[in-house]
Amino acid sequence: MKKEIVINVTDFETRLAILEGGKLVELQVEPSDSDRMVGDIYKGKIKTVLPGMQAAFVEIGMEKAAYLHSSDIGKMEKSRYDDDGEDEEQAPAEIIRKTRRQGIEKVLNRNQDILVQVIKEPISTKGPRVATEVTIAGRFLVLVPDADLVRVSKRISDWGEKRRLRKVIAPLRPEGFGLIVRTEAEGRSEADFRADIKRLLKLWAKLKKKADTEAAPALIHKEAEMLISMVRDFFTDDVDRLITDDRTAYKKLVSFARQVAPQLKDRVELYKGDLPLFDRFDLEPEIDKMLNRKVWIKKGAYLIIDQTEAMVTIDVNTGRFVGGRDQERTIYETNLMAAHEIARQIRLRDIGGLIVCDFIDMYSRDNRRKLFEAFKADLRTDRAKWGMNPVTEFGLIELTRERVRPSHMDQLSEPCPHCEGVGRIISRENMATRIERWFTRARADGKLSNYHLVVAPQVAETLCDNGSDRVVRIMKGCKFKINVVRDTTISQAAFKVYNAVDNSEVTAKYVV
């Protein structure tokens, strides 16, 4: 399958799109004023130790303290890098219920200096998450100080190649350091690894010197910018070309590729067309649809994707797809199409955490098993760690996916100021009733006055123009004079009341 990377650079943001077979499968957006944190290394100071939560908060010089869980403390945790023998689909420790551990108060003390690395961006009201096991990524290897491990990426599926890599790397491991062999190392020679280790050790010596001299809190190491980290992580031999519309970015990418992957530098292209680059690949409509709640799939079926604080739910509907005469076959085909699209949407929207997919119920156990296997196969192209359970009797598939930064829904949109993210607002009838209750409370207070009532036009219509004239009844019952003001700028779910004598707002006085 043809694989391409398209990079659009403007004064305000950089967008990176990955295409497989001409179809958008992954998008990264980095505003020019943003500051990615994952991979950054800080010398921090322990602010609070909470034995009851087996966690600590670390001051790293940001507005919010970083969160450190006991499972992310080097010697207390099982390594975050799995043994070769473990299942590829095993969910990462960051996103599954953790085994309870005790003793963080025996390891950490308040005001203690500590070296930590950011493993998860700040999300919503939470600060960044950090770990004490520092890692430094190179092109082919990851250097792990104060460790003695040698591990090989689970994405390398050839067991013969895994054994070869382990045999080559083991003698090269520096004393006091661990090495993780990355997927890009497949087929590489000992000379490539020696050069990578030399660069990483030189960088670590520089960081260690800075960590020993700087006072906490301090930034010790800043992870490479998106363009450079993309070349290091994404631009592999299976990518047919990388194209960008920015000359500065092009020069930077070619220069870095020449250093770390000379065989790929000729695949970097500078786009010179008049049509905007993302329009040239017809990506803008796909990006716009990425935020839609409803996603159409083949033959008239569709998905409904809802994101909440706790989880993301995805519902599968047959829609206009009626299939043939066999109902079970129709349902199975719909679920199979949905599984392909769900895997793409999860990766495209960068959805993390707990995800529950509600497929259409199938009676056949064999069909449920085949759906599960097909879904797993589609997810294997995802670079993020994930884990999933088989289809339940209710047609649900539960999965978890590594979340290291806010999803595109959080990045590219904001909650509606009217509904505050609920997706629904109070009805006009309900709003009219609430206004009536307000004036009833004002009457009970015994302070008679004249009022200006400011409401949205549709609420005013319900109060005055539907034949019942509720405002007249309020005035008669409460002995008030009420002047209704129609304001197109106010939400249907809000109203304001002013004292007509001094024009002071009194809305809050009688709101429960």
Q: What is the mean pLDDT of residues 136-155?
A: 85
pLDDT of residue 467: 59
Predicted local distance difference test score (pLDDT) of residue 319: 74
Q: Is residue 6 left, alpha or beta, with left meaning phi > 0 and alpha meaning psi from -120 to 50?
A: beta
Task: Identify the sign of the CA torsion 13, 19, 23, 27.
Answer: negative
Q: What's the whole-number mean pLDDT along residues 16-28?
A: 88
CA 337, 343, 345: angle at the middle one, nearest 5? 100
Name residues whose C-beta falls within 8 Å of residue 381's C-beta, 6 or more positions apart in sequence: 20, 25, 343, 347
H/E segment holding residue 314? strand 311-317
**% pLDDT > 70, the chain:** 91
217 upstream amide cis, omega within 30 of 0 = yes
**pLDDT tens sequence across 418-443:** 777 777 888 888 999 999 889 888 88
What's the pLDDT tens digit per position in 176-199?
A: 898 998 887 888 888 889 988 998
426 three-state secondary structure: coil
Give, as one character, the DSSP assignment of residue 300: G
The rounded distance, in Å, linking the Cα atoms of 313 and 305 is 6
Summarize pLDDT for 201-233 with one digit per residue, the tens: 999 999 999 988 888 888 988 877 767 776 777
pLDDT higher at 470 or 75: 470
- Tens digit of each residue's pLDDT (9 = 90 or more) over 322-339: 665 677 888 888 899 999
What the chain holds in terms of domains, given with CATH numbers, is 3-34+227-284 (3.30.420.60), 41-224 (no CATH), 293-401 (3.40.630), 428-510 (3.40.1260.20)
For residue 415, the model assigns a pLDDT of 78
Give the residue from 425, 435, 421 showing the smallest Cα distance to 512: 435
Instruction: For residue 59, give the nearest of 47, 72, 73 by alpha carbon.
Output: 47
Better-predicted residue by pLDDT, 359 or 328: 359
pLDDT of residue 86: 38
Q: How many residues does the chain have?
A: 512
Mind spelling out the 3-state secondary structure of 383-409?
A: CCCEEECCCCCCCEEEEEECCCCCCHH
How far is 83 from 207, CA to CA, in rounded Å?
28
For residues 83 and 200, the model is more confident at 200
**283-294, pLDDT tens digit by residue?**
988 888 888 889
- Position 84 scores a pLDDT of 42
Residues 6+ apart with CB under 8 A from 297: 303, 337, 338, 340, 341
